[in-house]
Amino acid sequence: MSDQLIIFDTTMRDGEQSPGASMTRDEKIRIARVLEKMRVDVIEAGFPAASKGDHDAVRAVAKTIEDSTVCGLARAVRSDIDRAASAIEPAESGRIHTFLATSPIHMKEKLRMTPDEVLKQARWAVRYARQFTDNVEFSPEDAGRSEFDFLCRVVEAAVDAGATTVNIPDTVGYNVPEQFGNLIRRLRDNVPNSDKAVFSVHCHNDLGLAVANSLAAVLQGARQVESTINGLGERAGNASLEEIVMAVRTRRDVFPCDTRLDATQIVPASRLVAGITGFQVQPNKAVVGANAFAHESGIHQDGVIKSRETYEIMRAEDVGWSTNRMVLGKHSGRNAFKSRLRELEVEFASEEELNSAFARFKDLADKKHEIFDEDLQALITEREIEQVYERIKLAGMQVCSRTGETPVANVTLSMDGVEQSAQSPGDGAVDATFKAIDKIVENDAELKLFSVSAITGGTDAQGEVTVRLEKGGRVCNGLGADTDIVIASAKAYVMALNKLTVETRTHRGHPQRSQAI
Ligand code: KIV
Ligand code: ZN
């Protein structure tokens, strides 16, 4: 049995199915680049049949990524498989992942198909997908609640038809670790051709057991785990990639396998996904939470100073936490700026781009004494985003806020190059600012989320704001960073508005909710 555990990331597919977590094509490319740098084996980039936008996003990822396999999801129907095949076609290494439910409740209530029809359809879908690629994954959806003998027959048929990976999903997060581990062992023991495919697992977190179930399966021979950054995903989410990877790596004495991942990319990936989706990470989240390596109690601090292993089982730097090193300041020159960014693997396409980023760095350094890597990353993120969404720009703003008085905001926006201003009172400085912006852009989108967090420590830290807007079924997230959180809020709001004007994916199909097969 292989000692490599294949890491399959589905942040951009199952993760994107979390309400409000939709990602644009460019955001998917940015996330995919970080995943590739992390050496994730398989990147499931989306569900191409959901809409043209989804198809194009998967295809763009397939064109960009060289070192990871790019995968597209498809229901077990011709049209979905055709779309997935077309989306992964430019990939160096592409995979089609097709699925069909096998539990009694899904077959009867959702598919309205008999078990024999499901068996036949599964076999057909895998065979059909194999016409486009040798790399086909099959998932019997809701395997965790399927009848064992029937599941064995479907898995055997899928492998026989050419599935190279068989993924066993606990779609509704119903299983418990011992049971789920046994399921994998029994499948491997009872399906006659089980040695011809890699067994994979895909666990949801409805009972908070997704990681435990996945690891129990690894102990019983699963050699691919499907997971997401920060545990993003449908409902309570999927197994969290960072927890799986670090559990296996930290407990080499327990697990007979390891991943090929560069774990130092975990924290940057977590931050990027949190910023893009607006799903912030809870402070006590394992591995990537702000407190994951913080020691509050005096006894713990004393222990860690004497010997780190007294209270730490992993090293913060091994998963990509930087030590908040002061990297640059007001007096740093253009070369120092450029070379630090190169160390962070940010390259500039032209001198003009470098100059404009450097000018922004100087503006920030005027306001903030110490500039950390996180500040530089936020600066670059902003640069990338502005390049894509340029219609509306924040040209200037002023907010007056006094104790006992209603705050008033004056905002100037540049709309397609023409400046317009408006003034508005509000219930607080941010509310006044958003209302002034609404007057200019005649916005009627609904604010779904407003969240603020500090990028680094200290009162001069930049605030990072996420805004989520919804209009006519479309949901867009905006991100803004500034040492002034009201300005950061305005930037985030403007970005979300810009995205609403650009983003065209209105009627997206949902792979698991759609009834028709
Ligand atoms: O949870 C699930 O069953 C899925 C499948 C599409 C693999 O996401
Ligand atoms: Zn799922």
Q: Which has the higher per-residue pLDDT, 343 or 297?
A: 343
End residue of a domain, out of 337, 361, 385: 385
Query: Is position 247 within any domain?
Result: yes
Q: Which has the higher per-residue pLDDT, 460 or 203?
A: 203
Residue 378 is predicted with a pLDDT of 78
* CA of 17, closest atom in ligand 1: 8
Residue 412, pLDDT above cutoff 60 = yes
Q: What's the mean pLDDT in 436-456?
A: 90
For residue 335, give both structure tokens: 């070369």
The residue contributing the CA closest to ligand 1 atom 1 is: 171
Residue 324 is predicted with a pLDDT of 47
Pair 439, 422: CB distance under 8 Å: yes
pTM above 0.75, yes or no: yes
Pair 394, 494: CB distance under 8 Å: yes
Query: Is position 516 within any domain?
Result: no
Residue 107 is predicted with a pLDDT of 97
Residue 511, pLDDT above cutoff 60 = yes
Question: What is the residue range of 334's domain?
Answer: 326-385
114-143 residue pLDDT tens:
999 999 999 999 999 999 999 999 999 999
The residue type of 292 is A
Q: Which has the higher per-residue pLDDT, 454 or 157?
A: 157
Residue 26 is predicted with a pLDDT of 86
Count of structural domains within the chain: 4
What separation in Å is there between the alpha carbon of 239 and the centre of ligand 2?
A: 10
- Whether residues 139 and 222 fall in one domain: yes
- Whether residues 425 and 441 fall in one domain: yes
Nearest CA among 319, 318, 311, 253 for reference residue 285: 319
Q: How far apart are CA 195 and CA 181, in angstroms?
A: 17
Q: Which of 47, 96, 97, 171 to mutate to test the pocket of ligand 1 (most atoms within 8 A of CB)?
A: 171
Residue 399 is predicted with a pLDDT of 96
27-41, 388-402, 453-467 — most confident range: 27-41
Q: How far apart are CA 224 and CA 184, in angstroms?
A: 12
Ligand 1 contact, 169 CB (< 6 A): yes
Residue 256, pLDDT above cutoff 50 = yes
The residue contributing the CA closest to ligand 1 atom 4 is: 171
Ligand 1 contact, 14 CB (< 6 A): yes
Residue 113 is predicted with a pLDDT of 97
Q: How far apart are CA 66 and CA 486, in angstroms?
A: 40
Query: Is position 507 within any domain?
Result: no
For residue 479, give both structure tokens: 């991100």
Residue 286, pLDDT above cutoff 60 = yes
Residue 62, pLDDT above cutoff 70 = yes
- Whether residues 296 and 399 fall in one domain: no
302-345 residue pLDDT tens:
676 777 778 789 999 999 987 545 568 888 888 888 888 877 76
Q: What's the mean pLDDT in 1-28?
A: 92
- Whether residues 479 and 492 fall in one domain: yes
- Whether residues 338 and 269 fall in one domain: no
Per-residue three-class SS string for 2-62? CCECEEEECCCCCHHHCCCCCCCHHHHHHHHHHHHHCCCCEEEEECHHHCHHHHHHHHHHH
Q: Strand locations in 35-180, DSSP E?
A: 42-46, 69-75, 94-101, 136-141, 165-170
Q: Which has the higher per-residue pLDDT, 179 or 298?
A: 179
Distances (CA, A) of 43 to 21, 37, 270, 428: 17, 12, 15, 43
Query: Is position 404 within any domain?
Result: yes
CATH code of the domain containing 22: 3.20.20.70
- What is the percent of the chain where pLDDT is above 70? 93
Query: Is position 284 within any domain?
Result: no
41-52 residue pLDDT tens:
999 999 999 999
Q: What is the CA radius of gyration of the chain?
A: 24
Ligand 1 contact, 10 CB (< 6 A): no
Residue 49 is predicted with a pLDDT of 97
Pair 503, 478: CB distance under 8 Å: no
- What is the percent of the chain where pLDDT is above 90? 66
